[in-house]
Amino acid sequence: MKSHFLTALLFIAITSQAQEFNHQAIVERLADIMNKNYVYPEKGQDMYDLLHSKIKDGTYASIENRSALADALQVDLRSIINDRHIRVTHNPARAKRMNEGPRSTGRQGPKNYGFQEVSILDGNIGYLDLRGFAGIGNAEEVAREAMDKLIQADAIIFDLRRNGGGSPSMIRFISSYLFGPEPVHLNTFYWRPADRYEESWTHPKDVSVNRPDVPVYVLTSDYTFSAAEEFTYNLKNLERATIIGETTGGGAHPGGPMIIEDGFIVNVPQGRAINPITNTNWEGVGIDPHIAMSSEKALDKAIELAQEDISRK
- Whether residues 168 and 299 share a domain: the answer is yes
Look at residue 257 and tell me if it is in a domain. yes
Residues near 200 by beta carbon (within 8 Å), at least 6 away in sequence: 168, 171, 172, 185, 186, 187, 188, 189
Cα torsion 135, 171, 248, 128: sign: negative
- Whether residues 71 and 215 share a domain: the answer is no
Looking at residue 154, what DSSP letter applies?
Answer: S
Indicate the Cα dihedral angle 125, 131, 132, 133, nearest 10°. -10
Residue 157 to residue 117: CA distance in whole angstroms: 11
- Whether residues 145 and 196 share a domain: the answer is yes
Cα–Cα–Cα angle for 97, 116, 267, rounded to 5 degrees: 35
Q: How far is CA 101 from each of CA 94, 97, 156, 250, 283, rounded to the nearest angstrom?
A: 11, 6, 39, 30, 31
Look at residue 47 and tell me if it is in a domain. yes
Length of the chain: 313
Counting the structural domains of the chain, the total is 2
SS3 85: coil
DSSP code string of 91-116: -HHHHHHHHH------PPPGGGGGEE
Residues of the domain holding 52: 2-81
From first to last of its 313 residues, the chain has per-residue pLDDT tens of: 555 544 544 444 444 444 578 999 999 999 999 999 999 999 999 999 999 999 999 999 999 899 999 999 999 999 999 999 999 999 999 999 998 876 544 444 456 999 999 999 999 999 999 999 999 999 999 999 999 999 999 999 999 999 999 999 999 999 999 999 999 999 999 999 999 999 999 999 999 999 999 999 999 999 999 999 999 999 999 999 999 999 999 999 999 999 999 999 999 999 999 999 999 999 999 999 999 999 999 999 999 999 999 999 7
- Whether residues 63 and 203 share a domain: the answer is no
Residue 57 to residue 304: CA distance in whole angstroms: 60
- Whether residues 158 and 217 share a domain: the answer is yes
Buried residues in 210-229 as b, exposed as e (16+ CB within 10 A): bbeebbbbbbbbeebbbbbb
Asked if 83 and 52 count as a contact pair (C-beta separation under 8 A), the reply is no
- Whether residues 125 and 77 share a domain: the answer is no
Q: What is the pTM of this model?
A: 0.88
SS3 217: strand
- Whether residues 67 and 186 share a domain: the answer is no
